[in-house]
Amino acid sequence: MALSAITNSVTSRRGVLQTGAGLGLGALMQGSLSSVAQASGHGSGSIDYLEPRDNLYAFGKMWGTYGDKPVYTAWQGILFASVGTKKLRPLFGYTGFGNAQCKITDEGYLRVRAKEGNFFTDLATGDVLESWYNPYTEENVEVFQFMNDRVRGELNFDMFVIEHGTGDDPVTITNEATARRRPDGSIPFIMPWETHGSKVFLAWDYRHEYTNPVTPEGWPRASTGPRVNPSEHFVFYLPKDELEDRSLPTARFHAGFTRISPFWPWMKMGGTEFADGKMMGRSHSFKEDIEGMDNIPPKLLAYIEKKYPDYLEPCEDWDDGRPKETWQAYAEQVPPENPDYQP
């Protein structure tokens, strides 16, 4: 889920400048920072929420931990389908977990290492699905469980961008709607934190559009078309005292999550009258237990212990890694349906 989004990115000043140039917002946003700080309480406490160095520290502490052992976060919710003007239809549950650690480098950058797993569950029982009856096509399909064990990367003082698809596809700018551009058009790593009493709120958005690796020519049933446009949106709530206490290695959070995307390849909606439909998912994420694995729902934890026990073990390196997004992983792991297809 979002853990991979953090490091499935290449921080590119060129890409940020291309997108920010010509908007005429640099001086305006730069000049408004002090008034935003006064209105929201930014700058109080041990974190300056308008300083990229402090933003990196707070972001890493929210997602993971600076401790010697990883912290385990989890999420769970439901995915719905929207086809034409029909009422949303619940499809299956959506759940997963992450195992993350962070550190601040000598330069003040944020380095992340993590593993994550994403699963689908039966709405009635909560059991993890390995096959699913598609009510639209009236066939059973094999579920593609999306696993990432190479969530690695480093974020610097510029806002990270996410690159999917081919070199011709536009990059995704994180939180583009609220980006604070410098006069030269570049974007510092400043997230839209808000302080409200004893809580800190954070909204995080990223909206993609890129060439579909699961091509209609290679996977006519799995592909919904030549392009895909998944979009994910988070809202986080953290205790202000925990986030700003630098003697603590991590801070608890609760979050809401919304996802909108085309149908996933494993659902086999390509070539059907439903191929242009959309999925809408809502879930909540949480890091309440900061010592053990109690965040992970019991049925999911039992399944992981049986099928993917290595994902519960700490990462052993701080090397760079580039986790794949769902469509790319599917294209690499599932052979083309068309035996004559040459990627």
| More reliable by pLDDT, 3 or 98 | 98
Residues with Cβ within 8 Å of residue 158, at least 6 apart in sequence: 11, 13, 16, 52, 186, 187, 188, 189
Residues with Cβ within 8 Å of residue 336, at least 6 apart in sequence: 218, 219, 343
pLDDT tens, position by position, 299-310: 999 999 999 999
pLDDT tens, position by position, 234-244: 999 999 999 99
Would you say 192 and 26 are in contact if contact means Cβ atoms under 8 Å apart?
no
Residues with Cβ within 8 Å of residue 133, at least 6 apart in sequence: 139, 140
Enter the pTM of the model.
0.85
- Amino acid in position 216: P
Percent of the chain residues past pLDDT 90, beyond the cut: 77
Residue 86 forms beta bridges with which residues? none
Query: Strands 253-262 and 278-287: what pairing?
Result: antiparallel
Phi-psi map region of 138: left, alpha, beta (phi>0 left; psi -120 to 50 alpha) = left
Would you say 269 and 84 are in contact if contact means Cβ atoms under 8 Å apart?
no
Would you say 333 and 14 are in contact if contact means Cβ atoms under 8 Å apart?
no
- Element holding 37 (H helix, E strand): helix 33-40
pLDDT tens, position by position, 100-139: 999 999 999 999 999 999 999 999 999 999 999 999 999 9
Q: What is the DSSP letter of 333?
A: H
Q: Is 310 helix (H, G, I), strand (E, B) or coil?
A: helix
Would you say 118 and 147 are in contact if contact means Cβ atoms under 8 Å apart?
yes
Distances, alpha carbon 322 to alpha carbons 149, 156, 166, 296, in Å: 10, 16, 15, 25
Would you say 93 and 120 are in contact if contact means Cβ atoms under 8 Å apart?
yes
pLDDT tens, position by position, 198-238: 999 999 999 999 999 999 999 999 999 999 999 999 999 99
Q: Is 184 helix (H, G, I), strand (E, B) or coil?
A: coil
